[in-house]
Structure 1
Amino acid sequence: MKFLFIFILSVTQLYSTDNHYNISSEKIINYAHAPVANSAPTLQDYKNIDLLYVQQNHVKEINKKIIQIAQGKKDKTYVQNNNQNYQYNFTNYKKVETPIEINNSRIYFGNLNITKNKSVFLRIYVKSSKLGNLFAPKVKITYKGKTYLQTFEEDTKGDRYINLSHLDISNNSELKIEGKFASIKNQTGYLYVFDNPNLNNKKILIVAPHPDDAEIAAYGLYSQYAKNTYIATITAGDAGSNHKYNNVFNGRKNQHIAKGKKRTIDSLTVPVYGGVHPDNLINLGFFDSKLYTMFQSKTSEVSAKYIDSKNIDIFRQYNISPLAKNLNGKSNWLSLVNNLRYILDTVKPDVIITVHPELDSHVDHKYSSVALFEALEKSSLTEGQLFFYTNHATNSEYYPYGRVSEAITLPPVYNNSIYLNSMYSHVLSNQREKVLALESMSDLRFTKQGSLFESTCKKTPHIICKDYSYMRRASRLNELFFIVDIKNLDHLLDIQ
């Protein structure tokens, strides 16, 4: 009877859904673009930008692809398409794929000339065993005396990508590959090797929808290149569901003002721990959970979800960076786009790290990138690269699968729809430092169970309790980015 109860509980959790990230079905019709700036703007340039935008807007009609990107689909907490192949289109990269044989659980690397500073992925067919229908199937990799695991969804059946970037593969070496709760038969796999970008002396701008998104996605990268990193956080994070301070402050308004203040200050201080200069950190102070509403109304001011205020200076006042002096505008979409345009034209980044709107299911995440795309169209920036990430994978909120000792590999994608020019698996040099940075972010640290380090899932069988915490999902061996050249942004959006 006890086993039957556990089994029913497990199946219920396995097929539960999360409606938190549903997006309205209203279509995006117009995509507005203001004139391109010839030089970095001043405060005076932006004083009358609302009027300029309304009078001289240039409209591009965009096709169903960008509509789907911005709208998204109903997110299910656990993947329901586990029997389909992951499908990625790498044909925009200079070398598509290299076939490689798997015989008797062995892969022999001949003269492939895989030098250092590469991101390497292996596509193979994986099929869950009967136990793999209940327990997460894993691929076990043994190379040069070290063993690594790569976990996938329960009941997996199809092509999957194994991240080998951290192995430092050399010519004429051998790799052992086995399945745990899964079978890997003799087959022809395909190896994808991407050149890692050289980020030395490159200006990096991270656009984060909320406080902590930059740390979840890219703390390892930005702390390594901290001297040239800028972080622009769009919202104050005042409406998040974790830890509402209801035991500290009376009244919902006061609780969410305190929450927004705390998270805003987090976004301006935690990156300093990673070496980023305070002058390079800015929070735009827009209200959490309101970006889609702003997008719909364009020039109308939007109130905070719980604070009953339209004044974004409630949170902007905590900025200390000189960048904040030229921030202006109100709580509307137009101001957001123009603020981002101002930052782009002032910082002039070589690399912009932002959310992939097709791979991330969170509404604010999607529309933060839509705002960035509009700002790019307005700005003077024409060169550089976009590094995309996902913190809420569209087809599975539980992604990345497995434990903190595992690498992050490609998320579930089934239709070859993702446009990219390259992939980058940034191997973390100090995983422990990222753990401390994540713990410093108040909304990640505090849960109903207390610290995420003390999550009850840590002591519970995987089949009964799934750990959705970012301590498991983000503090990994690597950080993963989908690269698109800024000059190819129209291809990403598929603009006609």
Structure 2
Amino acid sequence: MSELINRKQILLKRYRRNKCMGLLVSLLILICVGLLVVWWLPILLAVFTWLVHENWFVEYLFYSPKNDYQYKFTADTEQLGVTLDKGRLVLRQEFELIGDETLILAVRLKSSMVGHFIDPYVVLSYDDRQVFERGVNGLRYLNLTGQAQLLLSGQLLLRSRFCHVQGELVLSVFRYPDVRRQRMMVIAPHADDAELAAFGLYSQTVQPWIVTLTAGEIEAEHYQRMGLSKPEAARLKGRLRAWDSIVVPRWAGIRQEYLIQLGYFCLQLMAMKLEPDRAVVSLEAELNDIRVFRQFNQFLLPADTNGLATWSNLLADLRAIILLARPEVIVLPCSLLDSHPDHVCARQAVLEALQDLEWQPTILLGYANHLHDNNRWPMGDSGNGVALPPFFDTTYTLLPYCVSLSKQEQCNKAMSLGMMHDLQPRISFKRRVRRVIQRLFSGRAISPWGENDFFRKAVRRHELFWFVKYK
């Protein structure tokens, strides 16, 4: 578990070090130009260099865009050959689709010259643009979920821009039971994680529970600017996000007694995991009692007796909730893709809590809100489809499970995110300028739903999960 977290930290440090070295070299070159040529030329070159950086080098990829994505599906996955005939996808054989299957099309893409500078993408039936890495040259996976009827009728259009489709097309069909008709529990490490990953899913589910593990109280600079001290700001932020975790899901019609906030401290789950019986304190709020953030719960839990933030208490809380709710489906972070330490630990806590428990779910669904290899994924703009993320480890089998969201459901999801206090503060002036630059030079649209980048990432026509048959 810690290896994945450490790997991202190492890669981030290397990326930042290399960028600093590049900027230093550029500065030395500009000084030399100013001394040897004319004084104003370095200023012009500095502005040009800054524009290039903000448009093309501000995001990171911890892999080459020329690498093939390496997904391994199970042997019983249905796969069909597909041809591209005059811009239309045509199945090579007759096939039956109900319409709710997860449809993934393996396609080899090669970027054009322009596609090294502007995001290459594939358009499906005019209204779905799935975007890939600049300079892409390898195997990728398009998401055709929700397009079954157009595909069967031969009316599903496929056009590429700034890249070319090459080689054989293979369609993988994943048929699952409808989890929306089963009792479900969504595990959210922080308030808003359930909405980011699964608002569309849980809003369509007959009996969903949402369990939020932490108060998310740290990084409260926005509230410090109101005149509060650092601990006061952290406490206020934690209380607000605890309130969000209880109130916002009611926008989707969830009953309040099915919404639980455990109030553990943000970024302290790993410390709790390492010493299960030692109580930790908040990193910024100067608190050692989690009950401050649990006041909106409808019933008492084991840790309410002492309010200590320990791993043992977290497991006891989770066991009590699982036995009460008896979920058939548990939705939780996928640690193979999401390396945020609280997300990794949240998954581990649920799995430990389930050990030898008298009630067991039948299905686990994983989600990823913080991809460790590509900080822009899902690439592209609000409202578009979600292609499969980069993945390169063939020792694991990842089975995609996709839920389609209508325009109205996307709007409802965007409104739920807008109610979350952590997504409301304005982004920095630097980021606003960067968005304008990328809009002008790369054609990247600004999300109409909000400034925070999660509005772009999360408000899509798809919600993507990873299916695990648990018991």
What TM-score results when the alignment is normalised by the length of structure 2?
0.82
Name 1:184's counterpart in structure 2: 165
**Alignment map for 1:331-350 (pairs within 5 Å):** 331-350=309-328
Instruction: Verify: 1:461 aligned to 2:441, yes or no.
Output: no
Which residue matches 2:117? 134
2:55 counterpart of 1:10: no
The change in CA–CA distance for 1:200 and 1:354 in structure 2 (over 3 A counts) is: closer
Q: In structure 2, which of residues 391, 397, 400 is the aligned counterpart of residue 423 of structure 1?
A: 400
Residue 102 (str. 1) matches residue 84 (str. 2): yes
Identity among equivalent positions (%) equals: 27
Q: Quote the residue 1:62 is aligned against.
A: none
Structure 1 residues 11, 248: CA separation in 2 closer, same or farther (over 3 Å shift)?
closer
- 1:364 corresponds to: 342
Match of 1:194 in 2: 174
Matches within 5 A, 1:189-338: 189-225=169-205, 227-239=206-218, 241=219, 244-316=222-294, 318-322=295-299, 324=301, 327-328=304-305, 330-338=308-316
Kept in 2: contact 1:139–1:179 (CA 8 A): yes
- Alignment deviations for residues 189-220 of structure 1 (CA, whole Å, 9 cap, x no partner): 11011124323541110000000000000011
Partners of 1:323 and 1:14 lie apart in 2 by: 51
Q: Deviations 1:103-155 (Å, cap 9, x if unpaired)?
A: 5544213412122111111000001111111111101223xxx4421101111
Find the aligned partners of 2:300 and 2:433 in 1 and give their Cα distance.
Answer: 42
Q: Does 1:479 pair with 2:463?
A: yes
Q: How far apart, in 2, do the equivalents of 1:16 and 1:458 lie? A: 11
Cα distance change, pair 90–133 in 1 and its aligned pair in 2 (3 A): same
- 2:67 counterpart residue number: 84
Change (3 A) 1:328 1:101: farther
Give yes or no for contact 1:90–1:96 (8 Å, CA) kept in 2: no
Q: What do the CA deviations read for 1:38-76 (whole angstroms, capped 9, x no partner)?
A: xxxxxxxxxxxxxxxxxxxxxxxxxxxxxxxxxxxxxxx
CA contact (8 A) 1:83 1:158 kept: yes
State the distance in 1 between where 2:45 and 2:200 align: 42
* Whole-angstrom distance in 1 between the partners of 2:88 and 2:268: 51
**Residue identity matched to 2:371:** A
Equivalent residue of 2:73, what SS?
coil
Q: Secondary structure at the match of 2:327?
A: coil
Render the CA deviation track for 1:78-116: whole Å, top value 9, x for unaligned. 343211111111115x32422222355442134121221
Answer whether contact 1:9 1:464 (CA < 8 A) is retained: no
Distance 2:46 2:138 in 1: 30
5+ residue gaps, structure 2: 1-40, 447-451
CA distance in 1, matches of 2:302, 2:360: 25
Quick one: distance in 2 between partners of 1:325 and 1:101?
Answer: 58
* Structure 1 CA distance for aligned equivalents of residues 180 and 376 of structure 2: 33
Distance 1:282 1:132 in 2: 46
Q: 1:272 to 1:370 in 2, by over 3 A?
A: same
Greater mean deviation of Cα atoms: 77-86 or 325-334: 325-334
> Which whole-Å deviations, capped at 9, do the CAs of 1:433-474 have from their partners, x for residues lacking one?
111000000101213349xxx955554424579877110000
Distance 2:87 2:237 in 1: 52
CA distance in 2, matches of 1:3, 1:121: 45
Note if 1:373 corresponds to 2:351.
Answer: yes
Task: Assess if the C-alpha contact under 8 Å between 2:183 and 2:326 holds in 1.
Answer: yes
More relative contact order, 1 or 2 (CA 8 Å, 6+ apart): 1
RMSD after superposition: 2.5
1:177–1:448 distance in 2 versus 1, CA, 3 Å: closer
* Unaligned stretches of 5+ residues in structure 1: 18-76, 488-496
- Whether the aligned pair in 2 keeps the contact of 1:88 and 1:417 (CA below 8 Å) is no
Q: Given that residues 197 and 424 in structure 1 are in contact (C-alpha distance below 8 angstroms), is that contact kept between their aligned partners in structure 2?
A: no
- The AA in structure 2 aligned to 1:203 is R
Distance 1:253 1:4, change over 3 A: closer
Change (3 A) 1:328 1:190: farther
Number of the residue aligned with 1:112:
95
Q: TM-score, normalised by structure 1?
A: 0.78
Contact 2:54 2:438 in 1 (8 A): no
Matched, 1:385 2:363: yes
Shift of 1:156: 0.9
Cα distance 1:306–1:88, how it changes in 2: closer, same or farther (>3 A)?
same
